[in-house]
Amino acid sequence: MSERKNEPPKNELYQWSVVSALVDGVASNGLPMSELLAHGDHGLGTFRGMQGELIVLDGTGFQMRHDGTTRPVDLSVQGDVTPFGMVTRFAPTTTTTAHISAKDGVDALLDSLAPEARNTHLAFRLDGAFRRITCRTAEGQCFEGEGLTAVVGRQASITLGPARGTVVGFRAPEFLQGVAVAGVHMHFIDDARCAGGHVLALETEGEVRVQVAEIWRSVIDLPRGDRQFNEAPMKLDAEGIRRAEG
Amino acid sequence: MSERKNEPPKNELYQWSVVSALVDGVASNGLPMSELLAHGDHGLGTFRGMQGELIVLDGTGFQMRHDGTTRPVDLSVQGDVTPFGMVTRFAPTTTTTAHISAKDGVDALLDSLAPEARNTHLAFRLDGAFRRITCRTAEGQCFEGEGLTAVVGRQASITLGPARGTVVGFRAPEFLQGVAVAGVHMHFIDDARCAGGHVLALETEGEVRVQVAEIWRSVIDLPRGDRQFNEAPMKLDAEGIRRAEG
């Protein structure tokens, strides 16, 4: 993690750990947020114990918690860690505006804006007014090692709207299911930085600004020296991930 | 590809494309071998049209062809390309000697030598005498887009031995099936650099030298601007990969 002293390259994905580890409940340790944020200014992930949702927006990270509160991440050495996070230094190559009537519309919109990037990562961002946007925030593990599917089974979801804010997202190709979340994966935070979470449904109010970047290089660091990670069975549970993160 | 002017970091995996692309027959284009070899000195992969097997040993690449011939890779701009390759700058952290009586023994040996790296990549190398070693060399695609399983269905396999030579291998965790080849994946070349291929079976003659390195960071580049890659369905075919590359 310490090799990259300089500004990270644009539109390269940096990822800490893999979604399959969360599925197996590997969430007791992680990368300090300061190290994650050194790799990018746009991203998402979770916290120790899967306590809430991480959004990284213009270089600032926020934790959106199950109790509805939101706070900036703690960048101190002893502060927040992420057991799973992905970030990029976002430099959009396509910018437009669009009305989006449902979550599925995001996938279709990305297909039309990046038709030559079907089988690679996309980073994207939506800014503007949302008529309704449904967000979940994970409560966190009830016990060490509790798996993602069980944790998300207790999720709180709220529907905001009308609300102004930003969606930060990635789309991963199907063959990366388990490494990342295949398909569209996005987190929202409102302009007041008070409310948001993992996006389950959305409809925009008129047109929002849409920015997209294609990502052709990924860097994945795995958690060295983490016994919980080392001992996890880590079999691919594609259907479990779709249910939990889709 | 052009960002890394300096020596690559030790024991970081650099990978071009993914095995799922070979499964879908994406093998008409690729990364020039000179660029692959800039990222590491130890590795394996294939060639345009899946014509034979690539082994990278001490920084030199060789193509082992279906007709039993072997040649150094062409590093010229117009030379060989790889549609799938993985390399590292190999700096072994464990060196020992061992007798290995069967291919399964390699996996067990790696478990014992790197017990804290069950869920990450290992790079390894075996040097010495082999009582018998069975290698296959892919003949290559009969038509553009022919998939890996069909190509490998026509493989030639030969059993060498007694033979002195080197096995270059990686072991990938199960959750990376489709990105890489899950489990042990190894290519062999004899000391004369005349014969070898993808290892299907082996038994050592007495003890061979065993070197292992743990790999905690992977860099994956996907083929930008490759229409064949972009249009491939790229669904995970775990069983097909196990049959073809296991």
Identify whether B163 is part of a domain. Answer: yes
Task: Give every CB contact of residue A239 below 8 A, 6+ residues apart in sequence.
Answer: none
Which of the four pLDDT bands, split at 50, 70 and 90, describes residue A246? low
B132 and B76, same structural domain?
Answer: no
Distance from CA of B186 to the nearest CA of A (A): 22
Name the minimum distance, in Å, from the CA of A124 to any CA of chain B. Answer: 18
Instruction: Kindly state whether residue A233 falls inside one of the protein's structural domains.
Output: yes
* Contact (CB<8Å) B175/A224: no
In a domain, B5, yes or no: no
- Same domain? A40 vs A124: no
Chain A hits for B236, CB-CB cut-off 8 Å, are 174-175, 177, 236, 238
Would residue A6 count as lying in a domain? no
CB B52 within 8 A of CB B63: yes
Does residue B85 share a domain with residue B115?
no
Smallest Cβ–Cβ distance between B234 and the set A119, A225, A231 belongs to: A119
- A110 plus A184 within the same structural domain: yes
Q: Rounded to an integer, what distance in angstroms lies between the CA atom of residue A135 and that of residue A116?
A: 30
CA distance A61 to A85: 11
**A residues 157..176 contacting B (CB < 8 A):** 173-176
**With an 8 Å Cβ cutoff, is A242 touching chain B?**
no
How confident is the model at residue B123, as a pLDDT?
98
Q: Are B76 and B30 in contact (CB under 8 A)?
A: no
Domains: count for chain B: 2
Distance CA B117, CA B135 (A): 27
Burial class (CB in 10 A: 0-12, 13-18, 19+), B229: buried
Interface check for A219 against chain B (CB to CB < 8 A): the answer is yes
CB contact under 8 A, B230 and A116: yes
Which pLDDT tens digits describe chain B residue by residue (246 residues)? 444 457 899 999 999 999 999 999 999 999 999 999 999 999 999 999 999 999 999 999 999 999 889 999 999 988 999 999 999 999 999 999 999 999 999 999 999 999 999 999 999 999 999 999 999 999 999 999 999 999 998 877 999 989 999 999 999 999 998 899 999 999 999 999 999 999 999 999 999 999 999 999 999 999 999 999 999 998 877 777 777 776
Which residues does residue A132 pair with via DSSP β-bridges, in sequence order? Answer: A203
Q: Say what the pLDDT of residue B74 is.
A: 94
Contact A217 B218 (CB under 8 A): no
CATH number for position A56: 3.30.1330.80
pLDDT of residue A88: 98
* A124 found inside a domain: yes
B225 and B116 in a common domain:
no
Please report whether residue B2 resides in a domain. no
| pLDDT over threshold 70, residue A4 | no
- Cα distance between residue A194 and residue A64, in whole Å: 8
- Whether the Cβ atoms of residue A62 and residue A54 lie closer than 8 Å to each other: yes
**Interface contact A50, partner B, CB < 8 A:** no
Q: Which residues of A115-153 are buried (b: 16+ CB within 10 A; e: fewer)?
A: eebbbbbbbbbbbbbbbebbbbbbbbbeeeebbbbebbe
Question: A188 is in which domain, residue-wise?
Answer: 94-215
Tokens of residue A54, six digits: 């991480």
pLDDT at A78: 87
- Cβ of B174 within 8 Å of Cβ of A3? The answer is no
Whether A152 and A134 map to the same domain: the answer is yes
A225 and chain B: CB distance < 8 Å anywhere?
yes
B235 at A interface, C-beta within 8 A: yes
Alpha-carbon distance B84 to B18, whole Å?
Answer: 6
Q: Cα(A33)–Cα(A77) distance, rounded to whole angstroms?
A: 9
Mean pLDDT computed over A205-215: 98
Taking a C-beta distance cutoff of 8 angstroms, is the pair A132, A161 a contact?
A: yes
pLDDT of residue A16: 98
ipTM score: 0.94
Residue A4 lies in a domain: no
What is the predicted pLDDT for the residue at B240?
75
Q: What H or E segment, with its residue span, contains residue B229?
A: helix B227-231
Name which of B132, B133, B134, B152 is nearest B142 in CA terms. Answer: B152
Give the whole-angstrom CA distance, residue A204 versus residue A198: 16
Predicted local confidence at residue A1, as pLDDT: 44
Residue B165 structure tokens: 């030579």
The C-alpha of A151 sits at a distance from chain B's nearest C-alpha, in angstroms, of 21
pLDDT value of position B5: 56
pLDDT number for residue B3: 46
Dump pLDDT digits (tens) for A79-126. Answer: 999 999 999 999 999 999 999 999 999 999 999 999 999 999 999 999
Give the pLDDT score at B246: 67
**Does residue A6 sit at the B interface (CB-CB below 8 Å)?**
no
The better pLDDT of the pair A237, A99 is held by A99
From residue B53, alpha-carbon distances to A7, B15, B44, B201 in Å are 38, 16, 8, 16
Q: N- to C-terminal Cα distance for chain A?
A: 30
Rounded to a whole number, what is the distance in Å from the CA of B159 to chain A's nearest CA? 34
pLDDT at B2: 44
Q: Does residue A2 register a pLDDT over 70?
A: no
Query: Across the interface, do A179 and B175 touch by the CB < 8 Å criterion?
Result: yes
Give the model's pLDDT for residue A5. Answer: 56
Yes or no, beta carbons of A224 and B120 under 8 Å apart: yes
CA angle B225, B227, B232 (to 5 degrees): 125
Tell me the C-alpha to C-alpha distance, in Å, between residue B225 and each of A108, B80, B221, B238.
Answer: 20, 18, 12, 26
Does A80 fall in a domain? yes
